[in-house]
A and B are shown apart, each in its own frame.
Chain A
Amino acid sequence: MIVADRKNVAEIRDMIKDHDRVLLVGCGTCVTVCLAGGEREAGILGSALRMSLKLIGRPNVVVDECTIERQCEDAFIDALAPAVADYDAICSLGCGAGVQALAERFPQTPVYPGLNTQFIGILESQGVWTEKCLGCGNCRLGEFAGICPITRCAKRLFNGPCGGSRDGKCEVNPELECAWQLIYDRAKALGILDRLESIAAVHDWSTGIDGGPRKVIREDQCIAGLGPKA
């Protein structure tokens, strides 16, 4: 899932300083699960923003909350469309994709981010999320016993480990697991250590973000004319 965390209340308050009616929009998908931007968090931020605005002498600014199922799909934004006309700005508690989806749907309304989108990751333990995937567009997890050296090795080595691996930890940060130690241990447990004997090929980075924003097309699903627009 996409993992995010909330911006500081003062930063959000400053972003919306030119507006008198602001709609905080929560998202019911990834950011609800990572406790950053779901219905409860939207309520908490709404309350915090109203109090903060009052304390700086702007008690009349209206801040309301509304949470939709998914901000990154236009069809789900339908639920929001009637309300948006009553506000002069939106603060999205979605990920970066959600913010931009709202901005595309409502071209006349300024949209501000309430969250800092961090990474694609998993819930490691209660309240702790860790990064697992960079979305490089060319997955090679099969070669590395299911552990991604691109995301989890600080040097992104495909033929590791480097000399900075100490007692299973990374020299970059002693709290960071050495990805190559993890790869070795798991490959050993799976009885596939021999796979690490061969030199891993140079990665094809052309599928990554460096060539500009990417697009995935499923032609059998592309039916022109579907999907409402504001």
Chain B
Amino acid sequence: MTNQEPLILAFCCHYCAYAAADLAGSMRIEYPDNVRVLRLPCTGKVEVDHILAAFERGVDGVIVAGCLEGGCHFLEGNLRARRRVERAQKLLAEIGLEPERLEMFNLSSAEGGRFAEIVTEMTERLARLGPSPLRRDRQSTEQHVAQMTREAEASHAGEQE
């Protein structure tokens, strides 16, 4: 991967998108390697400030990937996440950043192929939009993303099996 490729942070629900990403790997389905997966117990855990923090730290795009509507393990976490994503998109527009850099997707844990499609779709979209004007040097952004991921894992350690 080169520094010119868009960097994507994907907030993934443990019960669907994260498992689907895993499945994509098991199925040997290729998808762009510029996505960083941040595992959450539910997309309902995603707050607007988490999304903005990612953009502020220089990522080019953010994916929030939760269970199919009606299939949330916490009943409505993914529905709340969608509303928050919509709010964050409005804020991005106010800031002057393209709202299309952020998108919510719904998929099941059996959809490894769909996960690969989503990452590909976002990568192509971000390539069309060009790099985020808030980009920092790649290494610093990667470090921030890794830190956010570690913090997320630490905050829900023990919540799943």
Using a CB–CB cutoff of 8 Å, the interface residues on chain A facing chain B are 8-10, 40, 43-44, 47-48, 50-52, 54-56
A9 / chain B contacts, CB cutoff of 8 Å? 91, 94-95
Asked if B56 is an interface residue, CB under 8 A from chain A, the answer is: yes
Given the known A-B contacts A40-B47, A43-B49, are A50 and B96 also in contact in the complex, defined by CB atoms under 8 Å?
Answer: no
CB-based A-B contact count at 8 angstroms: 40
In the complex, which of the residues B48, B53, B95, B97 has the most CB atoms of chain A within 10 Å of its own CB atom? B95
Query: Are B133 and A55 within 8 A (Cβ)?
Result: yes
Asked if B115 is an interface residue, CB under 8 A from chain A, the answer is: no
Q: At the interface, is chain A mostly helix, strand, loop or mixed?
A: helix
Between-chain CB contacts (< 8 Å), 17 pairs: A10-B94, A40-B47, A40-B49, A47-B56, A48-B52, A51-B52, A51-B55, A51-B56, A51-B96, A51-B134, A52-B95, A52-B96, A55-B95, A55-B96, A55-B133, A55-B134, A56-B96
Q: How many Å from the CB of A121 to the closest CB on chain B?
A: 21
Query: Are A50 and B56 within 8 A (Cβ)?
Result: yes
Query: Are A44 and B134 within 8 A (Cβ)?
Result: no
Given the known A-B contacts A52-B94, A55-B97, are A44 and B55 also in contact in the complex, defined by CB atoms under 8 Å?
Answer: no
Q: How many B residues, CB 8 Å from partner?
A: 14
Give the residues from 88 to 131 in chain B that come closer than 8 angstroms, CB to CB, to chain A: 91, 94-97
Which chain A residue shows the least CB distance to B53? A47
Q: How many Å from the CB of A41 to the closest CB on chain B?
A: 9
B96 / chain A contacts, CB cutoff of 8 Å? 10, 51-52, 55-56
The distance in angstroms between the C-alpha atoms of A51 and B51, with both chains bound, is 13
B97 / chain A contacts, CB cutoff of 8 Å? 51, 55
A56 / chain B contacts, CB cutoff of 8 Å? 96
The distance in angstroms between the C-alpha atoms of A43 and B49, with both chains bound, is 7
B52 / chain A contacts, CB cutoff of 8 Å? 44, 47-48, 51
Which chain A residue shows the least CB distance to B87? A44
